[in-house]
């Protein structure tokens, strides 16, 4: 047959952690927001390196801010929402102003 598995002893911290965390599924909007947020973060990360090349970096900053905005809005991270709106206004004025 097989050996009987030995139960793992859980410490106090592990039990408190399991009690505190609620396991739930993400909604469709949260899944799409997360994916868009990853793409937006990638655009924002590469933008400083693209600024010298005919201001392509400014456009990628705008794309990154627009793409990452739904993720931080759904997560209710209002400080990041304000930063993204500031980025949109600043680079929008830089390009179109």
| 8 located within any domain | no
Instruction: Summarize pLDDT for 11-28 with one digit per residue, the tens.
Output: 888 888 888 887 778 899
Q: Which two tokens stand for residue 27?
A: 């909604």
pLDDT, averaged across the chain: 89
Residues of the chain below pLDDT 50? none
Let me know if 65 is exposed, middle or buried by CB neighbors in 10 A (0-12, 13-18, 19+): buried
Domain count, the chain: 1
What DSSP designation does 3 have?
A: P
Cα 33 from Cα 95, distance rounded (Å): 26
Backbone torsions φ then ψ of 52, nearest 5 degrees: -65, -20
The reply to whether the predicted model has a pTM over 0.85 is no
- Percent over 70 (pLDDT), the chain: 98
Q: Which domain holds residue 77?
A: 27-96
| pLDDT value of position 19 | 81
């Amino acid at each position: 047959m097989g050996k009987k598995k030995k139960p793992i002893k859980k410490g106090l911290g592990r039990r408190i952690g399991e009690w505190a965390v609620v396991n739930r599924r993400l909604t469709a909007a949260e899944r799409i927001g997360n994916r868009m947020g990853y793409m937006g973060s990638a655009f924002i990360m590469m933008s400083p390196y693209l600024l010298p090349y005919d201001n392509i970096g400014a456009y990628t900053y705008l794309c990154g801010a627009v793409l990452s905005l739904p993720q931080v809005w759904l997560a209710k991270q209002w400080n990041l929402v304000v930063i993204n709106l500031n980025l949109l206004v600043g680079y929008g004025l830089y390009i179109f102003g």
